[in-house]
Amino acid sequence: KPQTTRHRLLGIVNRPGAQLLYLDTPGVLEPKGPLNQSLVQAALSALAAADVVVWLVEHRPPDPQDRVLLPHLQQLSQPLVVAINKIDLISKPKLLPLMEAYHQLFPQAPVIPVSALLGDGLPELEAEIIKLLPPAPPIYAEDQVTEQTERFLATELIRERLLHHLGEEMPYAVAVDLEEFDESRRPELVRVRAVIYVERQSQKGIVIGKKGHLLKTVGQEARTEMEDLLGCRVFLELWVKVWKNWRKDPRALRLLGYQT
């Protein structure tokens, strides 16, 4: 789903002779409203900071949705790589014209077909990125995989489970705020309390679900993933509250951790 990534996420990968820092950013779409403006700002700031830019597209030709991003890609001073994802869903005869369409847009950029689901093409993509990276010493320790805090990752686990169960219904109207992350009894237990914000009363009912089933399922799944992440038992408490039009409220966006 476009723009369900809400923050710039850093993943760290160590390979022999190379350390790759992957910045996963929100998508760049028409910046309508304060929330979308914040997401686009986060994506463009990451674009400026990168040594190599990977434009990850789905198995489709360039379309009007790309018009906001294309001018920024065309003005890049850094190397660009185009990665076409989900190639497991199309036939090989359809893939070659698709690759040619992106090659026409960016003649100097390698165009690499991949399937993130199956792992096809990922070693080739990584090798191309490493080839284009400037020489530099490693920034992070070899055993570090992200710079995000456990508190941030716990919030994202709840939001990811919500998006999974809500499907196309209302992913953009949901925000998660972690009110408590109590480690005082660690390593036995971590207590987490989070509020799920929606914009309307009707959305609150959707998130809670019939007899509370959806919220209970989200809580159980998020708690299990948190326990894997933290290596201990987790007591997770979830609440759903209405914050009317939070996506259009700059104060709400700041309190929920978005750039404004």
Interval 170-190: pLDDT, tens: 667 888 999 999 999 999 999
- Report pLDDT for 48: 77
Closest CA to 49 of 21, 30, 91: 21
- Report pLDDT for 1: 46
Interval 40-73: pLDDT, tens: 666 667 777 789 999 999 888 888 777 778 888 8
Q: What is the CATH number of domain 9-132?
A: 3.40.50.300
How far apart CA 43 and CA 9 sit, in angstroms, is 10
pLDDT above 70 (res 196): yes
Closest CA to 246 of 258, 235, 236: 258
In this prediction the pTM is 0.63
Same-fold call for 9-132 versus 150-255:
no
Mean pLDDT, range 23-30, rounded to an integer: 65
- Report pLDDT for 41: 67
**Whole-number mean pLDDT of the chain?**
86
- Report pLDDT for 29: 55
- Report pLDDT for 4: 46
Q: What is the CATH number of domain 150-255?
A: 3.30.300.20
> For the chain, which residues make up each domain, given as ranges?
9-132, 150-255
Mean pLDDT, range 135-152, rounded to an integer: 85
- Report pLDDT for 181: 94
Query: Percent of the chain scored above 70 by pLDDT?
Result: 86
How far apart CA 95 and CA 87 sit, in angstroms, is 7
How far apart CA 190 and CA 226 sit, in angstroms, is 9
